[in-house]
Structure 1
Amino acid sequence: MPGPLDGIRVLDLTSTLMGPYATQTLADMGAEVVKVEPPEGDIVRHIGPSRNAGMGPIFLNTNRGKQSLVLDLKKPDGLAAALRLAARSDVLVYNLRPHSMEKLGLGYEAVAKVNPRIVYAGVYGFGQDGPYAALPAYDDLMQGATGVAALNARIHGGTPGYVPLGLVDRIVGLAASGAISAALLHREKTGQGQRVDVPMFETMLPFVLGDHLGGLSYDPPLDQGGYARMLSPGRRPYRTRDGWICAMVYTDKHWRAFCAGLGMPDLVATDPRFADHGARIAHIDEILDMVSGIMAQRDTAEWMEFFIKADIPAMPVNEIAALFDDPHLRATGFFEDEDHPTEGRLRRPAIGPRWSGSPTGERRAAPRLGADGAAVLRDAGYTQDEIAQLAALGVTRLPESGD
């Protein structure tokens, strides 16, 4: 089956992580995505171990489902080709700063002139009506600007730290795919295309502030912000006798079951620190310290059996490599084998969401640089001689023997 976005054409002018993750999400939902790359290719192609140059694992897992076309957009013929592709696309996605798109000749007005129905989506650093508008942005910078690094400082001895993920890139990428889908629905109802702006700073902040705005939600403030449970030094995996485990003894029901199973059935009723959720949050540091001491007394498997029986949320701490042997992921077929045409046998994760009426089918492998250029240009109306001329001028790159 083709997926819920079958028939939607996306012109992908993004690179690195945030934009490509957004467009891969659209491809996973069935959209036809043409990834336009500069002659040197997306920089992410060269991150991590690879069997062939330019086909690293982060690229493979952020660009599946796409076709690759090389275009030098700084050359007039490259710009003309991009506009010809935009004229036949439903969506254009970019992650340059908007003024850079204007300089290239690919600003919204220029693109809407050739295709008024297009959804023109930008994912970039900052809203364009503030003093940060022209600043560059990357995930690390956004983790600092949105308070994530400072929150880590509260639990790591005062030293700010980054979450070891492209956290902001992927969250904003998902938000962008949702915003684009909403704009497509609007066009379906009204026939109107539009510009969609998804700035990293303003899009990420609600994710952070939803948990940590706290007493700063009020005027005057009731505190200096921060969610005490999440900022407790004790909020970490618990050490067991033979490893580590994550457990959430959270609700009143959980605490009654936990204490009863440990032979302390009266603790919740008699100790005011455990009286209700608010009281437990007020004493979270000492409560988590107490639980840590208890958890060290049994093996991980014993605790898992205990928590499952008590219906208390718990999971073991998995190393990345151990996920391939996870019994649940094996049963659901989460990891899929892929025979890539140039990279050999690969393992890739499945798509998380599922659609009962429009399930996704076979997914295109992540492309070699320029692998689909000739086919994409032919579909846009270029003749074989014109394509050869573009290649000779360095506007595009055609696959070489062995690519």
Structure 2
Amino acid sequence: MRRTLAGLTTRGRSFVAAGATAIICALILGERDLLRAGVLVLVLPLLCMLAVSRTRYRLACARRLDPARLPVGHEARVDLRLENVSRLPSGLLMVEDRVPYALGGRARFVLERIEPHGSRQLGYRIRSDVRGRYRTGPLTVRLADPFGMVELVRSFSLSDTLTVTPAIVPLPHSRLSGAWTGGGDSVARAVSAAGEDDVAPREYRHGDDLRRVHWRSTARHGELMVRREEQHFQSSGTLFLDTRRSAHWGEGLSSSFEQAVSATASIGVHLVRTGMSLRYVTDAGEALPAAPSEGAFEGLLLDALAVARRSRGNSLSAGLAALRGGEAGAREGEGLVVAVFGALSAEEARAVAAARRGTGTSVAVLLQGTPGAAERAEPQGEGTAGLLRSAGWRVLPVASAADLARAWTTAGKAGEDFVRDGS
């Protein structure tokens, strides 16, 4: 009864107050007609309250969110199925699904009647221009009487989670290689138009399977030659994001941090889809180790970047230590390293330059723009880029993530020039 009384609407409370006032005045003045009118006004919301509280029909709800992960600016659809599983028809239902303000606000529907064992299909679209993880639901149903005197709220427990990932910028193919991981006698390569002559044989060893004998090489060398055991190798690398609050400027979607997150997501997705095994590192240390499958790491990376926030740390030491570690770092720094930085001081640039080891390819993406303070303008100048280039880093200065595709082509050309000079 207490719950039902709490469900009285403003209209219902007004009727109760007016009826009680009329009854008291009628008793004081001795007016029977006023007493009858007061009783009628008071009883009406009470009857409505009794009718709504004795509602015995049961409702079931099923929901689906498609897709559960999408980039910023794209739409997802929420489908709801509300079913009356009782033997009584429902009354007037006001249905509302809880939706965060960033996804578009409330989703409300009015259903006049659901027949016994009947159902209704509901749906609406949501979108967000801000990355993050959002919860939609649960669905709430408001039961109301025809006069609008009483309104009871019942809520379901099911909800969905929508992950809005950073914007992805398509990148052109470029020759960026990392450390090779795997096993076997040789790196597996595709059969070219030259045919079997491309196979790299070796001399026969005791215990080798005779089915691996390469007869053409045997005839050429005058001794038994067998095909090498081949296994597909996978190139590995490290993706680094500088999340320090002190290294970024601006607020909102145009801030340097949001552009850095978008650039990191674009690079990570591009490299993973080319078959590279990646791990994700921030200034706080390793955030995601390499995953066994490409699709698994791509999803984990996008989920991590969707909720990435600026850190309060001021040092890159933990991140640079993790950058040198891992599988690629254990191979004498031969792994590909792609690092996305905000503002770097001269001291920080020297520390980043010293973090490069071996002959592996290292790419530094430097976010440039209009910092909020004058002291930030100098660290992003040619001094920082020069320090990194002198240590072997390929420096890609970009004003925003939209400029990354053009700069990425420059990194690829630098790799081709390196190959030609090395040959």
**Using CA pairs below 8 Å that are at least 6 residues apart, which structure has the higher relative contact order?**
1
Comparing both structures, which one devotes a greater share of its residues to strand? 2
TM above 0.5: no
**Normalised TM-score (structure 1):** 0.20
**Normalised TM-score (structure 2):** 0.19
Larger radius of gyration: 2
